[in-house]
Amino acid sequence: MGHNQSSEETSDTVRIDKTAVPDAFEAVHVSDSVVDRVGTARRRTGTASSDGDAQKWQDALQREREANENLRREVLNLRNSGASRPASSEYVSSDRREVEDERRRTFQETIDRVSQRFFSNVSESACAANAQQVIQCYTDNLKQPLNCSHLSKQFQQCVADYRTDMLARNA
């Protein structure tokens, strides 16, 4: 069945407002394939948003927009009245700080879950020492490469053992 003939298509869109991302994570990028895998996993496990969830998020978004509009009006009123805002961070309300802190915690938890899910099996080469020995042997024996065959076999065995171990862990 081709792409255009699929029987069921769902579209999950993840949008992250730039202001909700802490500066430390500004350079984090997620590829389309990662988004596709996460969406597929959500559909497979049944954790995709239901209509009730969508309505809840739309309501929350509307409340945030209204709050932002109120803040814009306050800023315009302050500018028009000639008053200047305090130079300290006291201008930011404690509610706003709590919201930002919660967003940072949620973002960090998401980063941790993604890292654990997709990067937990990434390890340094278990056979790096063997590979270095093979390279050094070939460098030292340019005219007699068969002198390095025993090291090459050791390297091949190391790679095979590592592969078997990784497959057993992921099974």
| Residue numbers of the domain that contains 140 | 128-170
Q: Is the residue at 133 inside a domain?
A: yes
Residue 98 is predicted with a pLDDT of: 85
Q: Is the residue at 39 inside a domain?
A: no
Range in 4-8, 97-101, 112-116, 160-164 the model is least confident about: 4-8
Q: Is the pLDDT of residue 3 over 80?
A: no
Q: What DSSP element (H or E) covers 112?
A: helix 94-119
Q: Is the residue at 150 inside a domain?
A: yes
The C-alpha R_g of the chain, in whole angstroms, comes to 27
Q: What is the mean pLDDT of residues 163-169?
A: 82
Q: Is the residue at 100 inside a domain?
A: no
CA atoms lying within 13 Å on the CB side of residue 21: 12
Q: Is the residue at 11 inside a domain?
A: no
Q: Is the residue at 27 inside a domain?
A: no
Number of separate domains in the chain: 1
Summarised one tens digit per residue, pLDDT across range 117-162 is: 776 666 667 788 899 999 999 999 999 999 999 999 999 999 899 8
What span, in angstroms and rounded, lies between the C-alpha atoms of 31 and 25?
Answer: 15
Q: Is the residue at 97 inside a domain?
A: no
Among the listed residues 110, 88, 84, the one whose alpha carbon sits nearest the alpha carbon of residue 28:
110
pTM for the complete prediction?
Answer: 0.32
What the block records as the tokens of 71 is 């803040």
With contact defined as beta carbons under 8 Å apart, do 111 and 128 qualify? no
Helix (H, G, I), strand (E, B) or coil at 153: helix
Mean confidence (pLDDT) of the chain:
76
What span, in angstroms and rounded, lies between the C-alpha atoms of 141 and 147?
Answer: 7
Q: Is the residue at 161 inside a domain?
A: yes
